[in-house]
């Protein structure tokens, strides 16, 4: 819309206003209109209308000439919107009626034939499925980029030793590469959930019309395949009334947001002075307005915090849909904003997380020193007692506990005890035991499938490249 001559202002909706003598109250308009947000689906709406118009002409429900006029009018509208020349009107409620109204200004009567055998109910369900499908596709790319950033650091640090934690207490030494690879797996499952959601949502509601189907001889297979859907939805009432695909999208998103918040939290912990495992680059931190020495991990904190919105969006839509009688109700207009917001939030978080990871320097010395603290190789000692002295594991656990107590009383590490010290607890112990007590030895010995040994991590990185990054 460029000026008032080409697109006159609308008082009442010319589209449904036949039985209305006055226009809606301003407040009604404000609560009813979705155009402020659903204009994001303009491209999907135009594609779906094009597929519908072509099908109507192929089935001789409208003339080929009318279909051609409709198609070129829709192309003009797409250009206008993309150039920023389209004036969206709240009086026209939503993206569907804004586009149809403009079409009628542009091409006249033929525009009125586009809505044959269609309702806004199947139209919005179709557009929204297409939009969520697109969002899943670009988020998959963002998740893949994050995996690539994780893999890069995991590769660099396949042999960097750090403490592994349970209960946030030092447990056993691990490699940093192994720790980061855990997130590669989590994000891999998130991508799997996104793919499952995409596969299930990829059926076409178009042609369900208002709720009951239509008496026109439409071809739903044709519109479905033109829009890249694998098939038409089987039941017209289900097609216009369920939004489980949006719930699945938000559920996948919530789990991903939880994963991102965990990694973000580790960054916050690791960048504290007490840990000092990572030095965040300047690009993903901020300073304090009062404390000149501060460098705060804001990006990580925000990623951690944004999980709240994402989970909130899932809850919001679950509550909107709960108890809704069949079929469409205007409540369903509340489905879009949570999904739009979540897609934007996650994209931002994924890109920021990948950037932050790439911009991070790990203090491997410090991590490695910490890895040996807290009697972290106690399990290695117990395993040695089983392997070399043939003790039952439960007995070995007990003996090791007593040796840990001895070291604790002496205020030293396990590796600082003498063999004589240890023999006071278990007479069979020899000096060979020291070979398993260092953190490096411990880590190198964890070669079981899925274990933390550097050799395993290098293999896991190579395998993950194939599983997650190579196309095809």
In this structure, the number of other CB atoms found within 10 A of the CB of residue 428 comes to 13
368 is an active site residue: no
> Is 158 one of the annotated active-site residues of the chain?
no
Q: Provide the mask over 69-108, with x wherever binding to ligand ARG is found by CB under 6 A and - wherever it is not.
A: -------------------------x--------------
Start-end of H helices in 88-119: 95-107
**Is 45 an interacting residue with respect to ligand ARG (CB under 6 A)?**
no
Point out the catalytic residue in the list 179, 231, 288, 448. Answer: 288
Q: Give me the least distance between CB of 93 and ligand ARG, in Å please.
A: 6
* Residue 124 found at the interface with ligand ARG (CB under 6 A): yes
Region of residue 291 (left: phi > 0; alpha: psi -120 to 50; beta: else): beta
Write the DSSP string, 215-283. Answer: SS---HHHHHHHTT-SEE-S-HHHHHH--HHHHHHHHHHHHHHHHHHHHHHHHHHHTSTTT--EEE-GG
Instruction: Give the angle 71-72-75 at the CA atoms, nearest 5°.
Output: 90
Could you tell me how many residues of this chain bind ligand ARG (CB under 6 A)?
9
Cis omega before residue 299 (within 30°)?
no
Please choose, out of 65-73, 326-334, 388-396, 413-421, the segment that lies near ligand ARG by the rule CB under 6 A: 326-334
- Please tell me whether residue 463 adopts helix, strand or coil conformation: helix
Output phi, psi for 362, to 5 deg. -95, 140
Q: How far is the CB of 173 from ligand ARG (least distance, A)?
A: 55
* Coil, helix or strand at residue 132: helix
By CB under 6 A, what part of segment 25-44 binds ligand ARG? 34, 38
Taking the complex as a whole, the smallest distance from the CB of residue 96 to ligand ARG amounts, in Å, to 6
Q: Which is nearer to ligand ARG, 124 or 135 (CB)?
A: 124
Site membership for ligand ARG, residue 332 (CB under 6 A): yes
Which is the catalytic residue, given 21, 167, 215, 289? Answer: 167
Stretch that binds ligand ARG, among 45-53, 160-168, 296-304, 328-336 (CB under 6 A): 328-336
Closer by beta carbon to ligand ARG, 43 or else 364: 43
**Dihedral sign of CA atoms 71, 77, 80, 83 in order:** negative
Residues in contact with ligand ARG, shown as a per-residue x/- string from 175 to 194 under the rule CB under 6 A: --------------------
Say whether residue 254 binds ligand ARG (CB under 6 A).
no
Task: Render the burial of 373-387: b for 16+ CB within 10 Å, e for the rest.
Answer: ebbbbbbbbbbbbee
Q: Find the shortest distance in angstroms from Cβ 288 to ligand ARG.
A: 44
Q: Does 328 bind ligand ARG (CB under 6 A)?
A: yes
Residues numbered 104 to 123 that lie near ligand ARG (CB under 6 A) are 120-121
Which phi and psi (to 5°) does residue 467 adopt? -70, -35
Report the nearest approach of ligand ARG to the CB of residue 358 (Å).
40
Whether the Cβ atoms of residue 128 and residue 204 lie closer than 8 Å to each other: no
Instruction: List interacting residues with ligand ARG (CB under 6 A).
Output: 34, 38, 94, 120-121, 124, 328, 332-333
Active site residues: 167, 288
């Amino acid at each position: 819309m460029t000026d008032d001559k080409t697109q006159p202002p609308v008082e009442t909706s010319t589209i449904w206003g036949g039985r209305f003598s006055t226009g809606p109250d301003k407040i009604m308009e404000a609560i009813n209109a979705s155009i402020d947000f659903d204009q994001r689906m303009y491209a999907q709406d135009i594609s779906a209308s094009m597929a519908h118009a072509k099908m109507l002409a192929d089935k001789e429900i409208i003339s080929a000439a009318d279909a051609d006029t409709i198609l070129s009018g829709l192309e003009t509208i797409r250009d206008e919107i993309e150039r920023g020349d389209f004036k969206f009107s709240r009086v026209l409620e939503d993206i569907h009626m804004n586009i149809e109204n403009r079409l009628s200004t542009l091409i006249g009567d033929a525009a009125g034939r586009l809505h044959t055998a269609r309702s806004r109910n199947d139209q919005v369900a179709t557009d929204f499925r297409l939009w969520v499908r697109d969002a899943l596709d670009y988020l998959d790319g963002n998740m893949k980029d994050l995996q690539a950033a994780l893999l890069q650091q995991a590769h660099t640090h396949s042999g960097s030793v750090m403490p592994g934690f349970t209960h946030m207490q030092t447990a056993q030494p691990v490699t940093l590469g192994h720790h980061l690879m855990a997130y590669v797996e989590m994000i891999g499952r998130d991508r799997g959930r996104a793919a499952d959601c995409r596969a299930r949502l990829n059926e076409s509601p178009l042609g369900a019309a208002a709720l009951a189907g239509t008496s026109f001889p439409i071809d739903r297979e044709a519109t479905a395949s033109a829009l890249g859907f694998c098939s038409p939805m089987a039941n017209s009432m289900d097609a216009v009334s369920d939004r489980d695909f949006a719930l699945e999208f938000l559920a996948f998103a919530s789990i991903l947001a939880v994963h991102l918040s965990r990694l973000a939290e580790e960054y916050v912990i690791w960048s504290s002075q007490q840990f000092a495992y990572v030095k965040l680059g300047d690009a993903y931190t901020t300073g304090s307005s009062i404390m000149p020495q501060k460098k705060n991990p804001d990006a990580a904190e925000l990623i951690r915090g944004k999980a709240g919105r994402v989970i909130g969006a899932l809850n919001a839509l679950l509550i909107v849909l709960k108890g809704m009688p069949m079929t469409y109700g205007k409540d369903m207009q509340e489905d879009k904003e949570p999904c739009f917001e979540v897609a934007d939030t996650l994209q931002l978080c994924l890109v920021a997380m990948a950037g932050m990871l790439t911009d991070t320097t790990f203090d491997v010395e410090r991590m490695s020193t910490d890895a040996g603290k807290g009697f972290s190789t106690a399990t290695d000692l117990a395993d040695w007692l089983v392997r070399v002295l043939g003790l039952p594991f439960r007995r070995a656990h007990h003996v090791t506990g007593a040796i840990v107590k001895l070291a604790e009383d002496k205020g030293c590490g396990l590796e600082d005890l003498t063999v004589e010290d240890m023999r006071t607890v278990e007479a069979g112990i020899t000096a060979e035991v020291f070979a398993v007590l260092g953190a490096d030895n411990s880590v190198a010995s964890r070669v079981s499938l899925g274990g933390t040994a550097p050799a395993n991590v290098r293999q896991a990185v190579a395998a993950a490249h194939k599983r997650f990054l190579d196309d095809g």
